[in-house]
Amino acid sequence: MVPAPSPTGRRELLARAAETVDALGMFAEVSRRLRRLLPYDAAVWRVTDPVTGMMTAPVRVENLDEGGCAAYWESELFTENVNLFRDLALAPVPVAGLRRTTGDLPARSTLYQDFMRPRGLRDELRAVLRVGGRPHGHISLFRAAGRAAFDSRDTALIAALSTPLARKLRTFSEPTAPLAPAVSPGPGLLLFDASGVLLSANDEARAHLEDVPEGPAVPSALGLCIPAWLQTTAMKARAVAQQRDRGRARIRVRTRTGRWLICHASCLRGADGALGPSAVVIEPARASDVVPLIVDAYEFTDREAEVTQCIARGLPTAEIARRLHLSPHTVRDHIKAVFEKAAVSSRGELVSRLFTEYYAPLAESGTLRTTVPDEDS
């Protein structure tokens, strides 16, 4: 019998994770300590978009060939019906082992047949890192042939880590230091064939890809290395068009310079209705795309988020109270709570902290006042 992981080991892992400053650093630290509690031979750690649950950047791959990403997601999106991430995100326990789920008959899984067995992998334990009902990351842990399958103690350990690690991932959406003004490329466009091979890309797409985080990628005939999350977004669009998957092929990606991009895809159709290439668009994110992530990172309540939006519009306390059907005293309490969570001391500082990257588009749309009065009346 393998002894169950000690609570002390788990607490130490979470304490070290809490000290990390970015997602890749957290993945590396957690993986190093987790191997002592739960041995495994290979792993993939992914950040996900909390709205769509799709893989985004960054991604950490351990002891696996990066070229296998397409095969993995081909199974997940088009043929697999065992332990799908979209199902685990809603399950009471967001963790599952392949062999336990299939009754030790892994051949029922196309993932096992097409991805795992050719690589000498015997079992997968996968998990969704979620908090507040939203997925912020995925973990895939693999054991090679010759090792025991993942058991209930392994499942319980990862389940206990799911929410704390998701909460830490969520904090990485907090704003960084104000960015210097820059001219961002316009929308980038890439076309992928049915197998996920890049057919063409415009110059704007090439420019955007120069600023995305490093990670698993596949080379293309066009001289571009295509990030795994980008290829998967194209595959997701095709799966949705074929009604093999549901949802939207849409993710938010933070660049190495701290800016946000939106990546969304759809599958084109010819005159006869037949499915054609998948078109992927990469473009600078709007404030409305990113503000929910930032608000979530600070753990604002729904009411605090509403008050924050009103502050961003330059509304005084009395008007916020009227619009939200609250007393001025209650509004002040919410503002105080928001200030404490965002570590600011004034309305102007709050708006600068949350929206500094988006002053121009917000001001143009009339949704943000670039000068916010600091008043309590």
pLDDT tens per residue across span 108-137: 999 999 999 999 999 999 999 999 899 999
| The pLDDT of residue 370 | 46
Q: If you average pLDDT over every residue of the chain, what do you get?
A: 89
In 3D space, the residue among 68, 70, 69, 84 whose CA is nearest the CA of residue 126 turns out to be 84
CA distance 76 to 236: 10
Q: Are 41 and 140 in contact (CB under 8 A)?
A: no
Backbone angles phi, psi at 93, to 5 degrees: -120, 115
- Reported as a single tens digit per residue, the pLDDT across 256-302 is 888 889 999 999 998 898 999 999 999 998 877 887 787 788 888 88
* Mean pLDDT confidence for 5-31: 93
Can you tell me the distance from the alpha carbon of 299 to that of 108, in angstroms, rounded to the nearest whole number?
41
In this prediction, residue 368 has a pLDDT band, given cuts at 50, 70 and 90, of very low
Any idea which of 11-15, 162-166, 185-189, 356-360 has the lowest mean pLDDT?
A: 356-360
Q: Spell out the SS3 assignment of 246-311.
A: CCCCEEEEECCCCCEEEEEEEEEECCCCCEEEEEEEEEECCHHHHHHHHHHHCCCCHHHHHHHHHH
Of all residues in the chain, what percent carry a pLDDT higher than 90? Answer: 69
| Spatial separation of the C-alpha atoms in residues 124 and 90, rounded to whole Å | 19
What's the pLDDT score for residue 182?
Answer: 57
- pLDDT, tens digit, for every residue of 57-66? 999 999 998 7
DSSP designation for 108: G
Centre a 10 Å sphere on the Cβ of residue 208 and count the other Cβ atoms it contains.
Answer: 26
Cα separation of 139 and 185, whole Å?
33
**Residue 177 confidence (pLDDT):** 52
* Of 370, 257, 369, 261, the residue nearest 315 (C-alpha): 369
